[in-house]
Chain A
Amino acid sequence: MTERSPVLSVRGLSVRFLMPGGRRIAAVTDAHFDVAAGECLALIGESGCGKSVLASALLGLLPGNAEATGEAMLGGLDLLSADERTLARTVRGRLVGLIPQSPAAHLTPVRTIRSQVQETVAALTGVRGRAGVRSAAQAAAERAAFPSDHLDHHPHELSGGLAQRAATALALVGDAPLLLADEPTTGLDRDLVDHTVDELRRHIDHPGEPDTAERALLMITHDLAAAERIADRVAVMYAGRIVELADAEEFFGFPGPRHPYSRGLLQALPDRAFTPIPGLPPELGSLPDGCAFAARCDRADDTCAVLPPAVGGVACHHPVPGAGMEASQGAQEDVRA
């Protein structure tokens, strides 16, 4: 798919929550994926599917009762086994720039944007001296298209779009090779969504100074239109597992998703069939042994009582044929719309 070497490489990542009474919740199970420099991977799925937990695991922000296993390599460091000191000193801000879900809540309410950006510059870069920090902060704001005449404003004086850019400016300061955007478009108007994702795209395509390396972007979202606009590849999560990993153009265009759940999600869009997937996702605390989607799937049969392995990016016993497969498999496989 891409020849560039991965910035982030996730192998067999699982997260279990240990609940009172010995109950275990399988929030994320056996996730494998890479994100390369200059690439955007969109991790999509409904709320509660495990995608936010996966993000927290990468940032070392899981609650105390969570247990993460597997590997997530970034810049020679395994994020999952790093201790809090390493996470605080070298990971957050320096290796991973976080663009949060609600920027207004992420910013400190009582301080101006300028002082927050300057503080981040002083903490994350080698820039020293008042004048130096001041101009570096201004440059960071400019990179995020945050208007310099608003730098002395407080967060509550900013529109949703500007708060988003302020948070983005903070995320860009440390020049981290990986940007992690967690539902960056929730609650924004469509025009602002388009604008926000276009800006995110710009930060991975042209990260500012010509000699800096390209960034990788992992965007976690339930907004399929935003994902379609920005992503090179999509990872679809269902009940804690990545059930499909696909090229974004093929996924949103032709031949479309191959996993029945992904197909159902796209068909639910108001500019497509607008029909919901029947039923609800299973509880992460009591997942079935076989395919977790079986109870809602119109392609399910007896084989689905066994967990489907991920083959060619799709974890399904009866995937819809993909690109270049119509001729060989189309005859035997019943393509249900």
Chain B
Amino acid sequence: MLELRAITAGYDRRNPVVRDVSLSVAPGEAVGLLGPSGCGKSTLARVAALLHRPDSGTLLLDGEPVRRWRHRAPRPLRTAFGVVFQQPRLAADPRLALTDLIAEPLRATGRRDEVPERVTELARTVGLTPDLLGRRPHEVSDGQLQRACLARALVLRPRWLVCDEMTAMLDASTTAALVAVVEDYRAATGAGLLAVGHDRTLLHRWCDRTVHWDTLTGAGRTH
């Protein structure tokens, strides 16, 4: 269970973009979080993925409160999350070939020996051909780079996936392909999903349950 309770967060303490927001995702559940751009939903997603420390409120992971965020979070917690962002070009290190981009979390956690097998397997899953794996980000399209970013998010077999506007820059076919990869992964592993976006049609089709940002804060809250 992933539970966000009364979270207040932002980049300016006097004016937090997230105020008193609560939301939970059950194991294996796919929750779509719908809201306009700039509303704070991406910040909430970062809090949920341990990437941004909230000003107040509690994040519970399987009943245990999270006390540390970012690089201070204990490794088993950090690696329980796979995160994909809207803009692959901002998220991907431009110096790394796609194969190293995908393998990097394995190397960082001392699991080098798994690299060849896991990268090959994931490249096939996300539909990247071997010749693309040797290229660097500027040598591939946005869609191809986002495929690599999704493979990277899955490489440590996370229990939770957080997809923040993962497909906002992509064409319809690449969108459908990446959503299918996420859903196949979830079907095989039982991972839970928080998908943040502004496309109602997409989130309704993709997720078990869709909540609107406006219903999450303070009095408007239903969960």
Interface string of A183-194 (1 = CB under 8 A from B): 000111111100
Evaluate contact between B175 and A268: CB separation under 8 angstroms. yes
Evaluate contact between B129 and A280: CB separation under 8 angstroms. yes
Number of chain A residues whose Cβ lies closer than 8 Å to a Cβ of chain B: 28
Evaluate contact between B37 and A276: CB separation under 8 angstroms. no
Q: Which residues does chain B contribute within 8 Å of A188, judged by CB atoms?
A: 37
Evaluate contact between B170 and A47: CB separation under 8 angstroms. yes
Evaluate contact between A189 and B198: CB separation under 8 angstroms. yes
Within 8 Å of chain B (Cβ to Cβ): is A269?
Answer: yes
The segment from B71-79, B90-98, B141-149 that touches chain A is B141-149
Evaluate contact between A270 and B143: CB separation under 8 angstroms. no
Within 8 Å of chain A (Cβ to Cβ): is B107?
Answer: no
Rounded to whole Å, the gap between the CB of A82 and the closest CB of chain B is 30
Evaluate contact between A190 and B174: CB separation under 8 angstroms. no
Q: How far is the CA of A127 from the CA of B201 in the complex (A)?
A: 47
Evaluate contact between A277 and B173: CB separation under 8 angstroms. yes
Q: Can you name the residue of chain B whose Cβ is closest to the Cβ of A160?
A: B37
Evaluate contact between A159 and B38: CB separation under 8 angstroms. yes
Interface string of A28-50 (1 = CB under 8 A from B): 00000000000000000111100
Evaluate contact between A268 and B172: CB separation under 8 angstroms. yes
Evaluate contact between B37 and A268: CB separation under 8 angstroms. no
Taking CB atoms and an 8 Å cut-off, the chain B residues in 166-183 that contact chain A are: 168-177, 179-180
Q: Which residues does chain B contribute within 8 Å of A160, judged by CB atoms?
A: 37-38
Q: How far is the CA of A82 from the CA of B143 in the complex (A)?
A: 34
Q: How far is the CA of A261 from the CA of B174 in the complex (A)?
A: 13
One of B171, B179, B205, B206 near A47 (C-beta < 8 A):
B171
Q: Which residues does chain A contribute within 8 Å of B199, judged by CB atoms?
A: 190, 270
Within 8 Å of chain A (Cβ to Cβ): is B200?
Answer: yes
Q: Which residues does chain A contribute within 8 Å of B26, judged by CB atoms?
A: none
One of B132, B169, B205 near A271 (C-beta < 8 A):
B205
Rounded to whole Å, the gap between the CB of B45 and the closest CB of chain A is 16
Q: Which residues does chain A contribute within 8 Å of B200, judged by CB atoms?
A: 190
Chain B at the A interface: SS class: helix
Number of chain B residues whose Cβ lies closer than 8 Å to a Cβ of chain A: 32
Q: Which residues does chain B contribute within 8 Å of A280, judged by CB atoms?
A: 127-129, 132, 144
Rounded to whole Å, the gap between the CB of A194 and the closest CB of chain B is 12
Evaluate contact between A187 and B37: CB separation under 8 angstroms. yes
Q: How far is the CA of A45 from the CA of B179 in the complex (A)?
A: 19
Evaluate contact between A48 and B37: CB separation under 8 angstroms. no
Within 8 Å of chain A (Cβ to Cβ): is B202?
Answer: yes
Evaluate contact between A222 and B171: CB separation under 8 angstroms. yes
Q: How far is the CA of A187 from the CA of B87 in the complex (A)?
A: 10
Q: Which residues does chain A contribute within 8 Å of B169, judged by CB atoms?
A: 47, 186-187
Evaluate contact between B205 and A265: CB separation under 8 angstroms. no
Q: Which residues does chain A contribute within 8 Å of B127, judged by CB atoms?
A: 279-280
Evaluate contact between A264 and B173: CB separation under 8 angstroms. yes
Q: Which residues does chain B contribute within 8 Å of A271, judged by CB atoms?
A: 201, 205
Task: Evaluate whether A222 and B170 lie within 8 angstroms (CB atoms) in the complex, with A187-B37, A270-B176 already known.
Answer: yes
Interface on B for A, CB 8 Å cutoff? 36-38, 86, 127-129, 132, 141-144, 168-177, 179-180, 198-202, 204-206
New A-B contacts (15) at CB < 8 Å, excluding given A266-B172, A277-B177 = A45-B171, A46-B173, A47-B141, A48-B143, A160-B37, A189-B36, A222-B172, A224-B172, A270-B176, A270-B201, A275-B176, A276-B173, A276-B175, A276-B177, A276-B180
